[in-house]
Structure 1
């Protein structure tokens, strides 16, 4: 009588060695690619500003956000975590929101030679005016009621530091604009504001930085 093979013998699975070798080759290839990509990733962490900052603004670590970027050999030119002292740093030129902070745009002390003056406006501001914008401050002295001298530029290329909207339930007559101007122009501008001169802000012609 012929003996039939047992069920367990018929169902036994034979593992093809070629399949095992193929799996090992794929796994090795995947690991190699991952290691190569990881080795090529030269991303570093650098600081970017949460909001636009103008010259004379003191910034601290809380005003910054960490970005992972590829800077290559230029990494030493930007502010990175660990380089902001507890007392903060002073911005020496306008740095836009989301922009990486160059080392050249900050200093330990304010050396800008600029002063901040708030100028009330008589009407609507020019479209697109905001922090970092530059304006020429035009002034016309009142000769008599309703009559003014020809207007002239009192301060050229003043930088807008902030725009202050009216607060409270009562409209105070318009927004006020905080300007950064050379210290030697402060007296003339304050004199014009006190005398009630007609003062207007006109967007300055764009200049490259």
Structure 2
């Protein structure tokens, strides 16, 4: 019979401190270093800004664009947004024009610039005798309506231009009043220019209606 003294004694394994060549230690150090670098980069990037042009007034299609119509804003942009706007530290705004409306204070999109060949609108002056909505301002889209007069009594009103952008408003320097005439310049697309001018050459009343949701 085996006695307690004769039983083999288990030897506890000794834990060894990992050496600097241990792959697990090296991988751990590398992960920690990468985490520190990523955190530093994120903090640094969050504090960086880039100078970008913004419109100091409303720009409409056909307006020449130079530094007189712009101001510089320091903004934070992601890497995927750097090419979307015109940087103030570049030379993109040279002999260019706006090809669409840019609101006052809006960052200047690169896609809003082009040359004259990209603009297919012409300014047309309208004399409006009705009171204008306070939403009829430069840069706002409006529908232009025409009501014929004369021998064509009872003629139905018709839309001459849909979504025409207001290019200028001249009320003679006074406030809008009911019955007061206002000269409104709107940008008319080339495909309806002939029809619009022909209608305006006849007797009738012109009315403008702001497009829903515009300000």
TM-score, normalisation: structure 1: 0.71
Report if aligned partners of 2:142, 2:210 keep a CA contact under 8 Å in 1: yes
Q: How does 1:59-208 map to 2 (within 5 A)?
A: 59-73=65-79, 74-81=81-88, 82-87=90-95, 89-144=96-151, 147-166=153-172, 173-206=180-213
Shift of 1:132: 1.8
Q: Secondary structure at the match of 2:111?
A: helix
Whole-angstrom distance in 2 between the partners of 1:138 and 1:85: 37
Report if aligned partners of 1:94, 1:132 keep a CA contact under 8 Å in 2: yes
Whole-angstrom distance in 2 between the partners of 1:135 and 1:59: 24
Bigger-Rg structure (1/2): 2
Q: Secondary structure at the match of 1:77?
A: coil
How many residue pairs get aligned? The number is 168
Which 5+ residue runs of structure 2 have no aligned equivalent? 1-41
Tell me the residue number matched to 2:60: 54
Tell me the residue number matched to 1:30: none
Shift of 1:83: 2.4
TM-score, normalisation: structure 2: 0.69
Whole-angstrom distance in 2 between the partners of 1:175 and 1:124: 9
Which 5+ residue runs of structure 1 have no aligned equivalent? 1-35
Whole-angstrom distance in 1 between the partners of 2:147 and 2:62: 29
Whole-angstrom distance in 2 between the partners of 1:184 and 1:114: 9
Q: How does 1:22-41 map to 2 (within 5 A)?
A: 40-41=46-47
CA RMSD between the two structures = 2.6
